[in-house]
Structure 1
């Protein structure tokens, strides 16, 4: 059994204009010690899907199943969820300044987390552990900085403090939601290394949510591509990068700069993402797809294939085409 098994997850939010169908049938698994990368444009449902697992989408209409070691998370009472958060599942948010309480020191917040989940731990023991956690994530002079407030930390240090809090109790699953956005390249590399080290040392499973395909290339074992609230491709990292099938995945790859410095204009994905108030019928990508067929406008393609899955009516043995994809395949075979 996988550590986390999510089946047909659907999340919608009621609005005066009708329900916003943020997640429209999401299925995936995460094994212990493995990293699942979830990518897609803004508004594709990446963050909502994982926040729902944590019970953080209040007011939403949720259906489907999410089993953590056989325990159902969907519909779990708030008290039980609260005992799981931090101890079994931790989340690293995109903006740590909005996640850390501004009126309490960073150390107090880590100490409080530890003592809530481990009541037998004394305050002195929890403080010592908090200092050790801050040192582990590279905070200088942790004995002094443990008494600083979040506004006294730089952006990179606040993100490190969030990671220290997330790792304090060695959770089985960490969800990282755009953890390196707005950080410089050096700090980004250090934070990714911290999360990779935790995965290796504690056999922690990691869900990495990002729009940065470079981060996914460094971290993920498996990649799930989302579009308009639905998974459209799921495969191992190398298959997604070098042998993509879904036209949307191909478009994402062709719209990012080449790491090798190859010349040529970037090729953006044409059009705009659909409204989730009134998503298009058939394949959600068909209004923007260069390979659209009559069937695409009517029938919703399921994820098809073994191992490498794609929600596209194109034949599964027909891989994505394009100059950028062709270059990546050449690199992979060399």
Structure 2
């Protein structure tokens, strides 16, 4: 049994404009010691889905199951969730400056988090553990930096503090919500290296939420590609990059600067994601898809196995065999392509 199994997750929010269907029928699993990347454009439901698992989406309408170590987190009591969050499931949020309290020293915040889950730990012992954690994530002079405030750390260092806090009690699952978005490339590589080292040392499973396919290539074992609140494709990292099936996955990869050997224009996905209040009929990607045909606009494709590969699933009406998919040609051009020398 997987460490975490999410089954048919639906999350929606009531707004003055109508019901926002943020997540629609999402299913995935995370194995112990593995990294699952969830990718997609902004607004695709990546963050909402993982926050809902730990009941951080107040006011949402939620259905489905999220089985963690044999217990459904969506129906768990508040006391059980308090024992799980932080202790067994650590979370790294996108903006460390807003996640850390500006009025309290970094060391105090880590110490309080440790003692909130382990009342038997003395403040002295917790402070020693906090210094060890800061050293573990590569912060120099950790014992001294415990007495600094968040604003005295750089963006990369604040993110390392968040990683240290998330790993304080050696959780079995770490949810990292775009942990490197606001960081430059050098610091991003350092932060990812810290996460990878911690995973190797403690066997922690990671859910990595990102829109950066370079990070996916470096960190993930498996990938879920989300669009308009639902999964478009699920596969191993290698299959996503080299044997992908869904046109949306293809579009994400073609929009990378490295596509075509770095020679030619970038190829963006035409159009914009649909409104989650007024979703189109059929496949949600059909209005932007260069392969779309009549059936795509009428019927929603199920997330089915493709290429006869267990674990590789795609929600698309295109042929499910490799040869048939390779033979497909776009029916429309999404942009005007210019030949470059």
Report the TM-score range of the alignment, normalised by the length of the smaller protein. Answer: over 0.9
Q: Is the 8 A contact 1:244 1:319 kept in 2?
A: no
2: CA distance between counterparts of 1:251 and 1:261?
A: 16
Q: 1:78 to 1:315 in 2, by over 3 A?
A: same
Deviations 1:44-102 (A, max 9, x none): 00000001011110000000000001111103222221111110001101100111111
Shift of 1:35: 0.4
Aligned residue pair count: 323
Partner of 2:188: 188
**Aligned-partner Cα distance in 2 for 1:85–1:69:** 13
In 1, are the aligned partners of 2:253 and 2:259 still within 8 Å (CA)? no
SS state of the match for residue 18, structure 2? Answer: coil
RMSD of equivalent CA atoms:
1.4
Are positions 1:68 and 2:68 aligned together?
yes
**Counterpart-to-counterpart distance in 1, 2:325 and 2:196:** 31
The aligned counterpart of 1:135 is 135
Question: Quick check: 1:171–1:204 contact (8 Å CA) kept in 2?
Answer: yes
TM-score after normalising by structure 2: 0.92
Residue 10 of structure 1 aligns to a residue whose secondary structure is strand
**Partners of 1:97 and 1:31 in 2: how far apart?**
31
Partner of 1:22: 22
Give the match for residue 331 of structure 1.
none
One of 304, 316, 323 as aligned partner of 2:320:
316
Distance 1:289 1:6 in 2: 28
Following superposition, the deviation at residue 261 of structure 1 comes to 5.0
| 8 Å contact kept, 1:23–1:48 | yes
Are 1:2 and 2:6 matched, yes or no? no
Is the Cα contact below 8 Å between 1:233 and 1:311 reproduced in 2? yes
Aligned residue for 1:14, secondary structure, equals strand
TM-score, normalising length: structure 1:
0.94
Distance in 1 (CA, whole Å) between partners of 2:93 and 2:289 is 32
> Do residues 307 (structure 1) and 314 (structure 2) align?
no
Q: Which residue of 2 aligns with 1:119?
A: 119
CA separation of 1:33/1:260 partners in 2, compared to 1, >3 Å: closer, same or farther?
Answer: farther
For 1:211-230, list aligned pairs within 5 A: 211-230=211-230
Q: Partner of 2:10: helix, strand, or coil?
A: strand
Distance 1:141 1:261 in 2: 43
